[in-house]
Structure 1
Amino acid sequence: MKKVCEGITGCYRRLLLILALLVLQVGCTLALPYLTAGMIDIGVGQGGIPSALATHISAEGMEKLLLLMNQEEQEKVCAGYRNEGQVYTKNEMNREEEEALADLMTPPMVAVYALSTDGADYKEVLGEDLYVPRELDAFGILKLLPEDARLELTKAARERIAAIPLTLVHQAAVNFIREDLEIQGVHVQELQDSYLLKKVIFMVLSVVGIILSAVLSARFLARLSADYAFELRRRMVRQVFNLDEEQAASFSVNDLIGRTMEDTEKIQHFLRLFLQEILCLLLLGVGGTVLAWRMSRQLGTVVLTAFGVALFLLAFFTTIGHRSAGKIQNSKRHLLRMIRENLRGMMVIRVFGQEKREQEQFHRAAGSWSRMSARAGRTCFFLTPGLLLVMNVGFLWLAKNSASGINQGWLQSGEYVACIQYMILVIGACLSVADQISALPEGVAAYRRVAQLLALSEEKETCCKGEATEDKRAPILCFEHATCQYPGSSEAVLQDISFSVRAGETVAVVGGLGTGKTALLLMALGKMKIREGRVLINGKEAASYDRKWLAGAISYIPQNPKLFSGSIAQNLRFRKKDASDAELMEAVRTAQAEVFVSQMEKGLEAAVSPGGTNFSGGQRQRLAAARSMVGDARIYLFDDCYSALDAKTALQLKAALAKKTKDAAVLMTASRLELIQDADQILVLDHGRIAGVGRHEELLQSCDVYRELAASQGCDIHTAGEVTQDVY
């Protein structure tokens, strides 16, 4: 996981900015239902008066309130308000003090409002003893009563008011404040309009915040995901180049291409989906549930339950999809591999008349992929209807609880509307994720495949630099009891190999098919893991050298040359990027490729198709030889570089290469003995072991395996190497 997430942690500032924008977007989104509830309940229902604690109370209103309080309560109220003549103004106080003062003053406000209006409507609230018809001066009568009797009556009224739902009590207190403001000469309608205008402005600002944060977060997220995908692909390509033979054998070409391109794209899409959809879903769910809970615990419980069920459905179907995502991906890649093989082998298929067989295999593979995809699609089809069912059941549950709450007075209409909107936001976010539910298991599966590749140990890169050997007689390349095996094989392909190559010396390796000639060169290149023994360059283990230094010190001609799309010059500059055209032409002449290169219209700038398919096998081999001759090297490795050449061209190339590499160490393999007869030393391999070492004439006398090879190629073993027949 750490290796896959390195690209994200490197962009933590941009990631934090995206998270901040997402939080802003979600916050503004959740603010809209809250503002809507305020407009309905306070702006419309309460006339723009937000609290039951008045900021200003007229002297007449304060006198009536104090009439219904005891001495202690009167002192607290007088401490909270200062007398400014005809108006009492609330003093500065903290929130806790305001809440305590509001609880103290709300029952008297309700009683005063009830006595000031049609008392018949509040008869049950005030009680028979305190109820006074409107045509009589209720407060005048209360003033005439003894204080004990008045307080006894107000105490009974308080007990009845305490039994009334809080929202109704709050509404009655607000009505008292409204009437008192009219007494003060305040235009209540203007107050209401001002409150509504303020809420509208906040709603417009919230919408602007949603739009800006959504646009900016989408832009930054697109850049972040693109940069992350680029960095991930770069690291994967570097990892592929660092794989040894054993690690590379565990992956097919199609698999590596799929992990580098398709899987990285899926991870990029998953990153965008997680930050833009899933994270918003979690923030909306938690925030909407908390805000709904603050408005009403019963309605908050409904929203929380719906959110929990929706998350369970998403997790359940994601788990099901994850089980089939890997199988679907493997089936798809198997189908792509079949298509690639059929296209490459179309001529062979037609020659042997196997079109029908290949078509049947393709139909079986395509049918398997189609069935698995359809099965996964049918399973996820039930997710969206399930979420819609959860949302509609939640609506019914909210309506049922809200109806009783509004009737009983513990819920207001605006709060019900806000909870409905929170439900829509939460389930809507779940539906948005459900539309891309297939990307979740695919992203997780792609992440695991990429992590598997990145988790492979890279080749060790050290800072050790190569140095020229002072003693010319000291070996540049040395094998000491080296043993290696092919990936996946339990048997060693080469065992106990020991020899050395000095500067100016040519060592040739011969043997039958499958004796390990190519594996020997791969060990020298560091591309085969050495199970036992070691390979030394200038007296130090090859693995201890810097890879870039090795690339400059060793030049290699593979048995099957690989050319890359571009031009001839671009292919030749692989070893030396700043090589001049003169250097390139010198290498071309050395490789005996000047004739066909000069005949091309563009010369060195002639196009090379992928794999060099626009050249013959011999031309590709000579271009590969030319590529290895650009620049100087200390060690040259030639893997049967004459196999595709005729005898005359092979001898010419051999002479040119010998002249170019006369001061370097040369290790080469060959299948024609005529091309290696003058080597300083010849190694004969048989069943992975050295069967003989010596010069050509010595081996003809001492090595049966070499003598059999010479006889099979028409060499007269009695004349020590005179070639009488060239089977090539």
Structure 2
Amino acid sequence: MFKLFRYLKNYKKESFIGPLFKLIEACFELAVPVVMKRIIDIGIKNEDVPYILRMGAIMVLLGFLGLACSLTAQYFAAKASVGFGTALRTDLLRHINRLSYSEIDKVGSSTLVTRMTADINTAQSGVNILLRLLLRSPFIVVGAVIMAFAISVKLTLIFLVIAPCLAFVIYKIMSITIPRYKNIQKTLDRTNLLTGEALSGARVIRAFSAQKSEENEFEKLTDELADLQIKAGRINALMNPMTYVIVNLGIAVLLKASAHQVYNDVITQGDVIALVNYMNQILLALLAMAILVTNITKMQASAIRINDIFDIGPTVSDEGNTDVTADTSAPAVEFRGVSFSYHDSEEYALEDISFTVNRGETVGIIGGTGSGKSSVVNLIPRFYDASKGQVLIDGVDVKEYPFAQLRGKIGIVPQRAVLFKGTVRDNMKWRDSSADDEEIISALKLAQAYDFVMEKPDKLDEMIMQEGKNLSGGQRQRLTIARAFVGSPEIVMLDDSASALDLATEARLRKALSDKTGDMTVFIVSQRISSIKNVDKIIVLDDGKIAGIGTHKELCNSCDVYREICLSQLSEEEVKEIG
């Protein structure tokens, strides 16, 4: 937890002023019983109305000063805690952005979202309460005991008995409830995960008529959460009545013990009232400390989970040279004996992959499900690093490039068409923020997206909803293809990016890619023979190994795996005709 306090370094002033004003407020609060004592012992006893009014005015002034100090403390504590949360959230996002796909796959996106939102909010609230109560509550307890000692040493001994009893009851209740609150947080995390899955997969759930089973699972989990909360709430609800019973017993004992001293003029009636007030202040301070400890416990649990993310180091780090000079005479992309496994598994997803691709060539990558097609293209921009061997671009190992330079060379179209909330123009500028409308329109035409964009009322200024939910699957894919070509990258990777296109649109796209890509090196990952049969070179993968490299015709004659794929999509006569 203490590791996170470094995010308060820019708020040292606020972190000092907040607790300071809380201590000043506590001083005013401790002074109130003294003024009340004077009103009773002097004003009321002597029937001195002007004195009562003056003391009453002082009590009101103390109240206003206490309120002003409290508001000031709240302001600075809130400013420090919000700044803490903002700095922590920004740094955590920056750290997550440095993680490779491998680490993100291990942790899970839903877990990262929970850490970025719920856990940071809990830590932020904990800092706020910490700054307000950490010094104030103990100060009130100690101050009230000292003020009581100043009135009567003997009667204060009752305080020294009552205070430990209160502390013991609060401690016992908290020792039972805090572990329960930790279980509540874990169950809440599971509930959030299930909720996220249910919402993101709503269409699939409905398609399989699985709403009832999902509802039953959700109901079971929420019932478990409710049961934990009710049990913790019942135990926690005992705190107020039990502590007040102890305090009221203490007050009764105090009144009994003070009656004789008042009768013998050892202490005054005002002294008794002041002692009762100080006892109540001690109770409220101890209850505030209980709230503080509960929040610190929650904060600590959240801090551990946040630090767990910070402790994950990126396996793919941006340590490339800033002055990489490409060899334009070398192949555009080259794999040399590359093997790769996910999450340091002993089983390779790719094994001993070697091939070269020259500048301007279009290469198709095909194979069965799980054969390693996407893994190959993910190694080029260093979404993952090869376990063995080298991946080179223009004769330079990709590990020697800074990320910005490496990925500036590459236009990527992922399997899942991802668009962001904003206009069409905004989405097209993700790869090149300086792109003008002419470049965007050229890319839209190449991706066969120009016509439907121009049919929109606002054209390039048409708003796209989050994840492109107001577009069809084919429209989203075409826009992501267009985005990859904006800025004329040297290498373009289309990872099964035409799966939602109809045959006519895909045919026009293939022709545009053939005619307009020029010196670009294009990788087309697909399971459709029609998507890659006319490319310059086809790489056939089977169980993570290269089964064949060549043209469509060559592979039909020489590669059994490719021929089998062809027979699954083309008639035997068509395949024989090619051979």
Normalised by the shorter chain, which TM-score bucket? 0.7 to 0.9
Q: What is the 5 A alignment of 1:598-677?
A: 598-677=454-533
2:74 alignment partner in structure 1 = 218
Mapped to 1, the partners of 2:116 and 2:273 lie a distance apart of: 50
Tell me if the contact between 1:472 and 1:502 (Cα under 8 Å) persists in the aligned partners: no
Aligned CA distance change for structure 1 residues 641 and 44 (closer, same or farther; 3 Å) = closer
Quote the Cα distance in structure 1 between the aligned partners of 2:173 and 2:421: 45
- Whether the 8 Å CA contact 2:381–2:407 is kept in 1: the answer is no
Residues 307 and 539 of structure 1: CA distance in aligned 2, closer, same or farther (over 3 Å): farther
Q: Cα deviation per residue 1:621-660 (whole Å; 9 max; x = unaligned)?
A: 1110011111132332221223222344323323333455
| Aligned mates of 2:352, 2:219 — CA distance in 1 | 50
**CA gap 1:406/1:496 in 2 versus in 1, 3 angstroms:** farther
2:542 aligns to what? 686
Residue 237 of structure 1 aligns to which amino acid in structure 2? L
Partner of 1:97: none
Q: Verify: 1:21 aligned to 2:24, yes or no.
A: no
CA distance in 2, matches of 1:295, 1:383: 29
SS at match of 1:560: coil
After superposition, the Cα gap between the structure-2 partners of 1:305 and 1:11, relative to the gap in structure 1 and judged at 3 Å, is farther
1:565 to partner: Cα distance: 2.2
Structure 2 counterpart of 1:9? 9
Shift of 1:720: 8.8
Question: Could you tell me the percent identity over the aligned residues?
Answer: 29
| Aligned-partner Cα distance in 1 for 2:61–2:186 | 50
2:493–2:524 Cα contact (<8 Å) kept: yes
Give the distance between the partners of 1:285 and 1:534, measured in 2 at CA: 67
Counterpart pick for 1:241 among 97, 100, 113? 97
Query: What's the CA shift for 1:404?
Result: 5.5
Amino acid at match of 1:425: Q
Query: In structure 1, how many angstroms separate the alpha carbons of the residues matched to 2:25 and 2:349?
Result: 63
- Distance in 1 (CA, whole Å) between partners of 2:345 and 2:324 is 36
Equivalent position to 1:329, from 185, 189, 195: 185
1:464 is aligned to 2:316: no
Which of 229, 235, 248 aligns to 1:373? It is: 229
Offset, 1:678: 4.7
Partner of 2:409: 553
Structure 1 CA distance for aligned equivalents of residues 170 and 9 of structure 2: 28
Distance 1:548 1:347, change over 3 A: closer
Contact 2:15 2:131 in 1 (8 A): no
- The equivalent residue for 1:149 is none
Distance 1:371 1:721, change over 3 A: farther
User: RMSD of aligned C-alpha atoms?
Assistant: 3.6
Counterpart residue number, 2:114: 258
How far apart in 2 are the matches of 1:537 and 1:267?
Answer: 44
| Structure 1 residue 557 displacement after superposition | 0.6
Q: Secondary structure at the match of 1:495?
A: strand
Letter matched to residue 460 of structure 1: S
Structure 1, gaps ≥5 residues long: 48-188, 724-728
- Structure 2 unaligned blocks of 5 or more: none
Amino acid at match of 1:508: G
1:425 aligns with one of 281, 284, 288: 281
Question: Cα deviation per residue 1:552-587 (whole Å; 9 max; x = unaligned)?
Answer: 222101122111222211211111223222221111
Q: 1:581 aligns with which of 420, 437, 445?
A: 437
The CA distance in 2 between the partners of 1:405 and 1:533, in whole Å, is: 91
8 A Cα contact 2:133 2:292, kept in partner: no
Asked if 1:389 is matched to 2:245, the reply is yes
Instruction: Give the match's secondary structure for 1:632.
Output: coil
CA, structure 1 residues 464+490, in 2 after alignment: closer, same or farther (shift >3 Å)?
same
Report the Cα offset of residue 284 of structure 1: 1.2
Asked whether the 8 Å contact 2:11–2:83 carries over to 1, the reply is no
* Cα deviation, residue 619, structure 1: 1.6
Q: In 2 relative to 1, CA 351–670 (structure 1 residues): closer, same or farther, beyond 3 Å?
A: closer
Distance 1:596 1:722, change over 3 A: farther
Distance 1:527 1:19 in 2: 47
> CA deviation digits over 1:174-202, x for unaligned, max 9?
xxxxxxxxxxxxxxx9xx99999997786
Does 2:347 align with 1:499? no
How many residues matched? 578
Structure 2 vs 1, CA of residues 451 and 299 (structure 1 numbering), >3 Å: closer, same or farther? Answer: farther
Cα gap change, 1:384 to 1:474, in 2 (>3 Å):
same
CA deviation profile, 1:357-408 (whole Å, cap 9, x unmatched): 4443333222222211111111111111122123223323433554465567
Structure 2 distance, partners of 1:532, 1:397, is: 80
Q: Matched residues in 2 for 1:369 and 1:251: separation?
A: 23
- In 1, the alpha carbon distance for the partners of 2:78 and 2:290 equals 21
Q: How does 1:106-125 map to 2 (within 5 A)?
A: none
1:636 is paired with a residue of what secondary structure? strand
What's the secondary structure of 1:5's corresponding residue?
helix
The residue matched to 1:11 in structure 2 has which SS? Answer: helix
Question: 1:491 aligns to what SS in structure 2?
Answer: coil
Q: Report the alpha carbon displacement of residue 497 of structure 1 after superposing the two structures with TM.
A: 2.5
Matches within 5 A, 1:417-456: 417-432=273-288, 439=295, 441-456=297-312
Distance 1:572 1:376, change over 3 A: same
Q: Give, in angstroms, the shift of residue 597 of structure 1.
A: 1.3
Which structure has the greater CA radius of gyration? Answer: 1
Structure 2: which amino acid aligns with 1:282? Answer: P
| CA-CA distance at 1:272 after TM superposition | 2.3
The answer to whether the 8 Å contact 2:43/2:51 transfers is no
The residue number in structure 2 matching 1:515 is 371
| Mean CA deviation greater in 410-419 or 358-367 | 410-419
TM-score (norm 1): 0.71
CA distance in 2, matches of 1:537, 1:194: 92
Q: Give the AA of the match of 1:581.
A: D
User: What SS does structure 1 have at the residue aligned with 2:380?
Assistant: helix
- Asked whether the 8 Å contact 1:501–1:667 carries over to 2, the reply is no
How far, CA to CA, are the matches of 1:204 and 1:349 in structure 2?
63
CA distance, structure 2, for counterparts of residue 305 and residue 533 of structure 1: 74
Instruction: Classify the secondary structure of the residue corresponding to 2:366.
Output: strand
CA distance in 2, matches of 1:498, 1:311: 71
Q: Which of 119, 132, 142 is the aligned partner of 1:286? A: 142
CA gap of 1:720–1:523, structure 2 versus 1, over 3 A, is: farther
Task: Indicate if the aligned counterparts of 1:325 and 1:441 stay in contact, CA closer than 8 A.
Answer: no
Distance 2:59 2:167 in 1: 29
C-alpha distance 341-200 of structure 1, shift in aligned 2 (>3 A)? closer
Q: Against the structure 1 CA distance between its residues 348 and 701, is the aligned structure 2 distance closer, same or farther, given a 3 Å change threshold?
A: closer
Inter-partner Cα distance in structure 1 for 2:517 and 2:168: 71
Bigger mean CA deviation after superposition, 606-615 or 9-18: 606-615
Question: Normalising to structure 2: TM-score of the pair?
Answer: 0.87
